């Protein structure tokens, strides 16, 4: 499997403007994974220009990684995640919370398995390995941050 990203490193995805080559990346995608919550709204334009229904919202090769993620409120205003679209004011940077990796990797793994069922065991094993490594790192982060417990930031 090959993973291509559209937004280059060190680029603000919220201010990103697609280039002509990005259209080819979408056109040749077997699976389109998006951040969702309006964070990558520009992706809809690319997908619509390609015209492949599989890659459009609800299509067989479309995955909004934000679906199922509990949203963080901004300034006490509640937000509801309805199918990858935030209603209310929500912080869309859900990938910064390691707990959300469990939800996102489950969705990605299941989407990959639908595309490559013969790779089911490999995909699931890779996810478990990733989650095990994440748990190990979280334990270390907790230890490193322990001296700062209760400190106001």
User: Are the CB atoms for 23 and 46 separated by under 8 Å?
Assistant: yes
**What is the gyration radius of the CA atoms in the chain, in angstroms?**
17
pLDDT tens, per residue, the chain with 153 residues: 889 999 999 988 888 889 989 999 999 999 999 999 888 889 999 999 999 999 999 999 999 999 999 887 665 545 555 554 444 567 788 999 999 999 999 999 999 999 999 999 999 999 999 999 999 999 999 999 999 999 987
CA distance 32 to 72: 25
* Shared-domain flag, residues 82 and 114: no
Q: Is 2 exposed, middle or buried (0-12, 13-18, 19+ CB in 10 A)?
A: exposed
Residues 62-101: pLDDT tens digits? Answer: 999 999 998 876 655 455 555 544 445 677 889 999 999 9
Domain boundaries, position 112: 98-145
CATH of the domain at 77: 3.40.50.1980
CA distance 135 to 129: 10
């Amino acid at each position: 499997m090959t993973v291509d990203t559209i937004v280059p490193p060190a680029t603000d995805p919220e201010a990103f403007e697609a280039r002509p080559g990005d259209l080819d990346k979408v056109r040749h995608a077997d699976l389109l994974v998006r951040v969702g919550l309006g964070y990558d709204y520009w992706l809809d334009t690319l997908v619509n220009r390609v015209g492949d229904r599989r890659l459009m919202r609800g299509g067989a090769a479309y995955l909004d990684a934000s679906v199922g993620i509990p949203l963080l409120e901004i300034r006490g205003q509640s937000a509801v995640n309805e199918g990858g679209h935030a209603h209310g004011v929500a912080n869309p940077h859900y990938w910064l919370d390691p707990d959300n990796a469990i939800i996102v990797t489950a969705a990605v793994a299941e989407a990959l398995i639908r595309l490559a069922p013969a790779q089911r065991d490999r995909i699931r094993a890779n996810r478990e390995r990733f989650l095990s490594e994440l748990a190990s790192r979280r334990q270390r982060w907790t230890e490193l941050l322990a001296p700062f417990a209760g400190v106001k930031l």
